[in-house]
Amino acid sequence: MIRIEPITDARGRRRFVRFPWRIYRDDPLWVPPLIRSQLHTLDPERGSFFRYGEAALFMARRGGEDVGRIVGWINHRSNRYLDEKAAGFGFFETVDDYAVAEALLDTVCDWARDKGMETIRGPFYFSMDDSPGVLIEGRNYPPVLLCGHSPAYYADFLERYGMTKYRDAYAYRVDLKALGDVSNLPPKVLRVAEIVRRRTGVRIRTADPAHWDDDVKRVMHLVNVAMGYMRNHVPMDEQEFIRFVEELRPVLDPELVLFAEIDGEPVGFAATIPDINQALKAANGRLFPLGWLRLWYRMRHIDVASLKLLAVLEEYRGRGLDSLFYLETARTLIRKGYSWADMSLTAEDNTAINRIIVHLGWERYKLYRTYHRSLL
């Protein structure tokens, strides 16, 4: 017998957050999340998502033990903006038993249907930009920051349940040690970068810690405007975006946050973040009593960085600014001694970016898939 239990209190949320350790205890590539951070995210009294959304947590139990978990959620702000009735599901973890997965998925679908929703998508956390999808390809490398990791049977369970592909997203990598120097980049990239400098008078500058708040506002504006063409893009909530950036601030390297300016106005932005997942793995979800020490030690030895955001205003696309960003980012990463770089995630329908990345010589090394299903 499988029993589905709603999780509504702090004690239950702690069980919920701790459950993945059972699924991944023998998986050397899994990166444990910080327990305190996830408890904050899932707490209706503290989590920023609950300012404009609602969620329900459920755990599956059998024989007196926890065997699975899931969250159903609704982003009312997003639904109003896109004029749709869509729910999401995430934090999905289950033992290798389809009956458990089916019971969990039935529960969130029924919950969303009772709320008047017409479709459900997932898995991802409370945003399609945070750990989206299940891993389809690429189990020979650990996940980088903001990317997930999941057993192969998750995709089988979701498809068996009747869910179909919503979108694939790709992660790419490049071996910086093998590259050696930016002069070894494809000649076309170097040529285009030089042409765009000469023709546009663009200036590339790094983030200015002395004017942090101003630069954060510039980033939010550029991302919201430049990403407007993407499928189901919803402009970022200012408070949520500031919270997200503040969480990353301790690991951000200003030299890897680049702005492109023409006549003093920002027209593009690229952010590459040291892969803190390398350090988080050693902390095993806890910062006390020794987690901080392990985290501090590992952060000094991070040798992977991830290009997470690259946005160029529409009127400046196709002019080579992206090549200039890649060139300057690679130059800095090589100078700082990084072994390899990741670029993630890019949606499959972002054909222009994916084509450029392949021309740059990056290798696609992971594929993530999100699913959807009608609730009507």
| DSSP conformation letters of 243-270 | HHHHHHGGG--GGGEEEEEETTEEEEEE
> Does residue 374 form part of some domain?
no
In this predicted structure, the answer to whether residue 290 has a pLDDT above a threshold of 60 is: no
207: domain CATH number? 3.40.630.30
**Token pair belonging to 207:** 């983030």
Count of structural domains, the chain: 2
Q: At what angle do helices 98-114 and 153-160 cross, to 10 degrees?
A: 50
Check residue 248 and give its pLDDT: 85
> Does residue 203 form part of some domain?
yes
* Beta bridge mates, 87: 120
Residue 54: how many CB atoms within 10 A of its CB?
A: 14
Beta-strand relationship, 86-94 and 164-175:
unpaired
* Shared-domain flag, residues 192 and 331: yes
* Beta bridge mates, 274: 305
* Shared-domain flag, residues 303 and 154: no
Range(s) of the domain holding residue 149: 3-169
Q: What is the mean pLDDT of residues 293-306?
A: 79
332 and 256 Cβ atoms separated by less than 8 Å: yes
pLDDT in tens, 45-81: 999 899 999 999 999 999 999 999 999 999 999 999 9
- Report d(CA 298, CA 282) in Å as an integer: 7
Check residue 56 and give its pLDDT: 98
Q: What is the mean pLDDT of residues 165-190?
A: 91
Nearest to 346 by CA among 170, 184, 136: 170
Confidence grade of residue 204 (pLDDT, cut at 50, 70, 90): very high
Given 101, 136, 169, which residue is the final one in a domain?
Answer: 169
Beta-strand relationship, 86-94 and 340-347:
unpaired
Confidence grade of residue 247 (pLDDT, cut at 50, 70, 90): confident
- Report d(CA 361, CA 254) in Å as an integer: 26
Residues whose CB falls within 8 Å of the CB of residue 231, separated by 6 or more in sequence, listed in order: 167, 347, 349
Confidence grade of residue 327 (pLDDT, cut at 50, 70, 90): very high
* Shared-domain flag, residues 143 and 101: yes
- Report d(CA 67, CA 63) in Å as an integer: 9
Check residue 292 and give its pLDDT: 60
Confidence grade of residue 350 (pLDDT, cut at 50, 70, 90): confident
CA 8 to chain centre: 26
Q: What is the mean pLDDT of residues 315-326?
A: 88
- Report d(CA 315, CA 112) in Å as an integer: 40
Backbone Cα Rg of the chain: 21
> Does residue 373 form part of some domain?
no
pLDDT in tens, 95-127: 999 999 999 999 999 999 999 999 999 999 887
* Shared-domain flag, residues 267 and 346: yes
- Report d(CA 206, CA 203) in Å as an integer: 10
- Compute the C-alpha angle 131/271/348, nearest 5°: 50
> Does residue 164 form part of some domain?
yes
- Compute the C-alpha angle 372/375/376, nearest 5°: 130
In this predicted structure, the answer to whether residue 293 has a pLDDT above a threshold of 80 is: no
Confidence grade of residue 165 (pLDDT, cut at 50, 70, 90): very high
Phi, psi dihedral angles at 32 (to 5 degrees): -65, 135
- Report d(CA 224, CA 233) in Å as an integer: 9
Check residue 58 and give its pLDDT: 98
In this predicted structure, the answer to whether residue 295 has a pLDDT above a threshold of 90 is: no
Which helix or strand (DSSP H or E) is residue 309 part of?
strand 304-312
Confidence grade of residue 245 (pLDDT, cut at 50, 70, 90): confident
Residue 248 exposed, middle or buried by CB count within 10 Å (0-12, 13-18, 19+):
middle
Confidence grade of residue 351 (pLDDT, cut at 50, 70, 90): confident
> Does residue 250 form part of some domain?
yes
Given 112, 138, 169, which residue is the final one in a domain?
Answer: 169
Q: What is the mean pLDDT of the chain?
A: 91
DSSP letter at 9 equals S
Q: What is the mean pLDDT of residues 277-292?
A: 76
> Does residue 264 form part of some domain?
yes
Tokens 């040529």 sit on residue: 191
- Report d(CA 64, CA 85) in Å as an integer: 36
Check residue 284 and give its pLDDT: 84
Given 116, 147, 169, which residue is the final one in a domain?
Answer: 169
pTM above 0.75, yes or no: yes
Residue type, 238: E
Q: What is the mean pLDDT of residues 258-265?
A: 93
58 and 5 Cβ atoms separated by less than 8 Å: yes
> Does residue 376 form part of some domain?
no
> Does residue 91 form part of some domain?
yes
* Shared-domain flag, residues 123 and 254: no
24 and 30 Cβ atoms separated by less than 8 Å: yes
* Shared-domain flag, residues 39 and 132: yes
Check residue 289 and give its pLDDT: 59
pLDDT in tens, 20-36: 999 999 999 999 998 99
Check residue 330 and give its pLDDT: 94
* Shared-domain flag, residues 163 and 244: no
Q: What is the mean pLDDT of residues 149-169?
A: 97
